[in-house]
Structure 1
Amino acid sequence: MPVDNAARSGPDAQVVKQAISWALRLRNNRANERLHAQCEHWREAHVDHELAWQRVQALQQELNSQLSAIPGAHVALENVAHGLGRRQALKMLSGVVLVGSAAWVSRDLTGWQRWTSDLATATGERRSVQLPDGTRLQLNTDSAVDLDFSAQQRLITLVRGEILVTCGTTLSAPLLVQTRHGLLEGIDGRFSVRQDSDCTRLSVVSGNVAIHSPHSADGFSTQAHAGENYLVNQTHATPAPPLDMDVGAWTDGLIVTRGMRLADFLSEVGRYRHGYLGCSADVAGLRLSGVFRLEDTDKLLAILPQTLPVRVRYRTRWWVSLERSA
């Protein structure tokens, strides 16, 4: 089933509630083949139904995996579920899903995009591919792209996450990178594109990149040169100060920092692992510089107390915080 751009923004809350209702009914009636068939019919009726269904299923799997670290949690929840009627259970689960929508449900579904995108990576995974024209495309953690290469165009659509592009052979068709905020034209060289919810960050390592915005009234075009950074939204491109970390170090499995705030550093590391990673307010502004390997983020965190007055606290495997050491 094709997924259009509107569907990728996510189903609305009412459709999510319907998906939760189906999940609960099937859980309580596993052997009811007619009910399974009705659910299949509902899922096939609209792409948003299938998106919502996959999100609810993925959330259930994520919660199950996290609860496995807490002894007796599943037994306790099963007992609670048996004591609730279907309406009560639906209300409770809907509350969990909808309250967390800003962080999980309403965002683009990573799992769904891994299935439907031409190239994608999971959390903590990186990938490098060579495109037909010789362009080298590298995907950072939790990223997805669609490709449209033909005699008429060379288009990379960044669905989510971050990529590093090394331009290949110069052909008649320009090399384009489309994000939700604008269109980038790689003229030559190497550049990084990171798409966040409110803007796209362009960092040019070498060569030149043209920034086009078909969304703005004047359809502005800006030329970005080697060493420059830009923040691009749907109306303008703004020069950005240099980053306090090396732009492309992640391609070698590294984070290289220069006086980076601890809170910002943990936000970056958190992109490569599941669950919550943060710190208390009294240590958020501590600065650190160094070269850190991403292959094992637990080992990475374990070395921080050697250089900073902090301790690493694991509440569960998926809930980690740094606090000031005594």
Structure 2
Amino acid sequence: MNEARTFSPQVAEQAVQWWLELQDGALDPRQQQAWQRWLHADGEHRRAWEHMQKVNQQFAGLPGPLAQATVGAPHSPGRRRALKALLLLGMAGATTLALRQQHWLPPLVADYRSPLGQRRQLQLDDGSRIHLNTTSAVDVRFDASQRLIHLLEGEIMLTAGVDARPLRISTDQGLVTTERGQVNVRQMLNSTWVQALHGAVAIQPAAVQGTPLRLADGQQVEFERQRVNPARPLDANSGAWVDGMLIAAHMRLGDFLAEVGRYRRGQLDCDASVANLLLSGSFPLGNTESILDSLEAALPVKVRRFTRYWVTVQARV
């Protein structure tokens, strides 16, 4: 496959969302403009859209009822979800490289996973507790010599149970080991973010030999396969998601919206002119629409909703 022709899973989902919007009926002029802006904003978007059309044509060739279920306009939430899942799997044919790198399909068959916008808590056989954040997935592999948790995507908070076997979290970038502490681990696109909430942890990047880095209680760090960034103290938002909260302490609006976007479908954009505005406060993650509404009262911004899945925060004029 020609790597230049691939596109990311995020862009694939955006293409599917726009296709579903068009299937629901004609877009009004503002929505039409928003779709056109998305389509022409990047060559990656155009490649995804062209492949989306090919996938749709392939589904049209399916036999009888299956063709009707996949291509027909989605008139119910359940039918819409099923159609979206089929389309995303069809899109996967053009994103093999990206899907392999980001574990986009393995989480579908993971031991434990949480859907977008929801959190999940579970207890393992050794007494350890795991909280899964939005769109997260793990495989658990315990044997006589070790306890291994493979973080396939997303974010977890792990409270280690008492056990003689080492407890390790594996990510794309390496291993995080804890004994009897509490650690928050997030799989980023090309790095892993670790927060030592209680007790020390050890970090071993995948491509680095030698003694693991020790991260002290109350520290956080980001690491890649070949290097570890300098550690720094925990921030105000560390672990707040477990309680369903997003805590901002002089947080850039652009960073804040990136966090909010993890808990909602579609695309949430921040105009560059307001991205550096600072925001403080505590926000319940269970209602992202309420969060967006509150921004207009707290900052000189306007929230523009082009469709259900396309929202942009701009400067108020």
Structure 2 length-normalised TM: 0.72
The equivalent of 1:134 in structure 2 is: 127
Cα-to-partner distance string for 1:108-155 (whole Å, 9 max, x where unaligned): 364x33431111112111111011111110111111111001222110
Question: Residue in 2 aligned with 1:143?
Answer: 136
Q: CA deviation at 1:172?
A: 2.0
> Rg: which structure is higher?
1
The range that moved more, 202-211 or 258-267, is 202-211
Q: Equivalent residues in 2 for 1:90-129 (5 A)? A: 93-94=50-51, 108=102, 110=104, 112-129=105-122
Quote the offset at 1:62 in angstroms.
3.9
Aligned position for 1:260: 251
Deviates more, 1:128-137 or 1:231-240: 231-240
Residues 274, 91 of structure 1: alpha-carbon distance in 2 compared, 3 angstrom cutoff: closer
Distance 1:214 1:61 in 2: 35
Specify the code of the residue in structure 2 equivalent to 1:308: L
Find the partner of 1:238 among 215, 229, 233. Answer: 229
User: Aligned residue for 1:173?
Assistant: 165
Return the TM-score normalized by structure 1: 0.70
Q: Which residue of 1 is the match for residue 186 of structure 2?
A: 194
Aligned ranges 1:1-326 → 2 under 5 Å: 12=1, 62-68=17-23, 71=26, 93-94=50-51, 108=102, 110=104, 112-169=105-162, 171-216=163-208, 218-242=209-233, 244-326=235-317
**Residue 128 of structure 2 contacts residue 159 of structure 2 at CA under 8 Å; is this kept in 1?**
yes
1:11-39 CA-partner distances (Å, limit 9, x unpaired): x558x99xxxxxxxxxxxxxxxxxxxxxx
For 2:148 and 2:279, how far apart are their aligned partners in 1? 38
- CA-CA distance at 1:107 after TM superposition: 6.2
Change (3 A) 1:92 1:321: closer
Q: Would you say the 8 A contact 2:15–2:49 is kept in 1?
A: no
% identity of equivalent residues: 36
**The residue matched to 1:239 in structure 2 has which SS?**
coil
Contact 1:244 1:259 in 2 (8 A): no
Question: Are the aligned partners of 2:16 and 2:52 in contact in 1 as well (CA < 8 Å)?
Answer: no
For residues 195 and 299 of structure 1, do their structure 2 counterparts lie closer, same or farther at Cα, with a shift above 3 Å needed?
same
What amino acid maps onto 1:322 in structure 2?
V
2:12–2:48 CA contact under 8 A, matched in 1: no
**Partner-residue secondary structure (3-state), 2:180:** strand
Equivalent-residue separation in structure 2 for 1:91 and 1:316 (angstroms) = 19
Tell me if the contact between 1:69 and 1:316 (Cα under 8 Å) persists in the aligned partners. no
Aligned-pair CA distance for 1:241: 3.5
Cα distance in 1 for partners of 2:220, 2:27 equals 50
Q: Root-mean-square deviation (CA), in Å?
A: 3.4
Q: Is the 8 A contact 1:126 1:139 kept in 2?
A: yes
Inter-partner Cα distance in structure 1 for 2:291 and 2:161: 35
Matched-pair contact (CA < 8 Å) for 1:244–1:260: no
- Alpha-carbon distance, 1:219 to partner: 3.0
Q: 1:309 to 1:238 in 2, by over 3 A?
A: same
**Deviation, structure 1 residue 242:** 4.0
Distance change >3 Å, CA 55–CA 13, structure 1 → 2: farther
Structure 2 match to 1:48: none
Q: Verify the 8 A CA contact 2:115 2:135 in the aligned structure 1.
A: yes
CA–CA distance in structure 2, aligned partners of residues 115 and 228 of structure 1: 32
Using the TM superposition, give the Cα deviation of residue 190 of structure 1 relative to its aligned residue in structure 2, in angstroms: 0.8
Gap runs ≥5 in structure 2: 33-46, 54-90
Shift of 1:56: 12
Q: Secondary structure at the match of 2:214?
A: strand
For 1:94, give the aligned amino acid.
H
Say how many residue pairs are matched: 259
Where 2:190 maps in the other structure, the secondary structure is: coil
Deviation at 1:166, TM superposition (A): 0.7
Do the aligned partners of residues 135 and 105 (structure 1) sit closer, same or farther apart at CA in structure 2, a change above 3 Å counting?
Answer: closer
Q: Displacement of 1:324 after TM fit?
A: 1.2
Give secondary structure in 2 for the equivalent of 1:237: coil
Question: Structure 2: how far apart are the matches of 1:240 and 1:56?
Answer: 32
